[in-house]
Chain A
């Protein structure tokens, strides 16, 4: 769309001094900025709204939270009530997802499982945020030898597959008598902050050279204030993206651990436990593994969609 110009030529005439016509009287108004000025965040929200997959992911996550909170309350069954006369029921109106080998309502168990998975996701995101951001921030801000030592530690931990560290920690804490769910929280929380620390470090390294950081320093702001009030808020975009993408891998790890028998165990219904129990009976009762599997995949999809959308919207380096 061509903007109306404030000066025009007579048609078919080569421009010279006499070919100008007076500008319309309202020409000044046309140059005024009409749209509201956008900020980084409103820009990001606008962009993410246009990304259909990300919006779908967002609503799935909201729905999951609602189901996780209210589902088990509304359900007429409890996740651990056994009904040995009605074991291995196919899906019916009474039991939409069927019942398992002890006659427990599978739908209630899947809904209860969403509580565990989302709790793992939230706690790990929070720990990830606390440890990773602080670690990366301190390492980058102080630089020099501090940075060298702190990043060497990260490098070494990076060299070992995360899952092996998580498994070792789980074994350690399990034998110390920590409850399985807390155990999974600790193990995942203690290991999944590594990518976050690296990303925050990279961001802070460049941010700390910027003028506003220098300005804060010249007026005598203490280090922790500069780091936490000035630098880290400016790195929020990549941080949020990393957290969103770490949540599905935390949820996956919990399900994986429960699946191989290291995480929470029966009667508590984690999706990993349900999938593991269902696999045993896959030949005769495939629906038992179907619903927890769908639940895990849907959750992972939703978080990955949202994370991807957020990355496109928040990470300026990827803007086209």
Chain B
């Protein structure tokens, strides 16, 4: 187990380093500098600005400085908002996005798994068709359409919840459901197909032959084996929730990190783009690491095997 963790941690660090370097050089490749405005600044001012942000240093020195700061979790100042650092922005925005994301993941797991089980137990019945249809719907409706649709029906039409904003519990409902839409569909499909597979296995027959109640067979014996595929897709689904937050936070006017990220892209605020990209990648890689650990803990067969396919 220790070797497994060490190996994963090392590869995690490597991935974050590569992402950070690649993004750094990409941002420096951009032809329009961070200070190119519509009104051209005098050459001397640009020079002073560049000196202030050390942009007149040779590229390798800038890179080494940036990486050094990165190790100290210092992501530098924002070019656009001179009084704010990238760390400020992440500190402000991330907790909001995190709450939204956690609620969305809980919804996804809490709704997706029962839906999938229900579909599998009634295979080929109308319930199954309904579940599969909901699943296809969830995969096919883009999140920004889902956001607009939910807002239109539940906020503007039925006045059940506020249309936008952030601060109260009722304001979390719509964006969280929007973000959870795709994961719910994905998990329901996955659970349905793995449930169908598990139910055909012999240990289930054994459990039934022992005279266990159907409830025990499903929840005690089958469910455990269904959790493993669900855990493996949690990584990509968390990524989907992150990227979904870019547009959902914009539509629902939520002051989260996703919205800041999109704003910084439209503003060409390079340090913020760079810093938040690294932050997102690090977070996702770390989540994948946690998912892998959970996976190894759930399924002991994986633990000591080298992670190598054929």
Q: Which residues of A contact B (CB under 8 A)?
A: 53, 156, 159-161, 163-164, 167-168, 171-172, 175-176, 202, 205, 248, 252, 255-256, 259-262, 272, 275-276, 278-279, 282-283, 286, 289, 293, 296-297, 300-301, 304-305, 308
Tell whether, in the assembled complex, residue B141 and residue A300 are in contact, meaning their CB atoms are under 8 Å apart.
yes
Give Cα distance in the complex from A163 to B244, angstroms: 9
Tell whether, in the assembled complex, residue A164 and residue B281 are in contact, meaning their CB atoms are under 8 Å apart.
yes
The A contact surface, by secondary structure, is helix
A202 / chain B contacts, CB cutoff of 8 Å: 309
> Which listed residue, B151, B240, B250, B284, touches A260 by the CB 8 Å rule?
B250
The B contact surface, by secondary structure, is helix
User: Taking the complex as formed, is B71 at the interface, i.e. its CB lies under 8 A from any CB of chain A?
Assistant: no
Please give 12 more A-B residue pairs, beta carbons under 8 A apart, in addition to A161-B243, A175-B31, A279-B251.
Answer: A156-B19, A161-B280, A163-B243, A164-B280, A248-B140, A256-B142, A261-B266, A286-B152, A297-B142, A297-B145, A300-B141, A300-B142
Tell whether, in the assembled complex, residue B148 and residue A275 are in contact, meaning their CB atoms are under 8 Å apart.
yes
Given A175-B30, A279-B148, A160–B140 Cβ distance below 8 Å? no
A176 / chain B contacts, CB cutoff of 8 Å: 31
Tell whether, in the assembled complex, residue B156 and residue A282 are in contact, meaning their CB atoms are under 8 Å apart.
yes
Tell whether, in the assembled complex, residue B23 and residue A304 are in contact, meaning their CB atoms are under 8 Å apart.
no
Write the nearest CB–CB distance from B307 to chain A, whole angstroms. Answer: 10
A-B contact pairs, 23 of them (CB 8 A): A53-B136, A159-B15, A159-B285, A159-B288, A160-B19, A161-B242, A161-B284, A163-B243, A168-B23, A168-B26, A168-B273, A171-B268, A172-B26, A175-B268, A176-B31, A202-B309, A252-B142, A272-B144, A279-B251, A300-B142, A301-B136, A301-B137, A304-B139
> Which listed residue, A278, A286, A304, touches B140 by the CB 8 Å rule?
A304
User: Taking the complex as formed, is B18 at the interface, i.e. its CB lies under 8 A from any CB of chain A?
Assistant: yes
Which A-chain residue is minimally distant from B30 (CB atoms)?
Answer: A175
User: Taking the complex as formed, is B199 at the interface, i.e. its CB lies under 8 A from any CB of chain A?
Assistant: no
Tell whether, in the assembled complex, residue A260 and residue B136 are in contact, meaning their CB atoms are under 8 Å apart.
no
Given A159-B284, A164-B280, A175-B32, A301–B18 Cβ distance below 8 Å? no
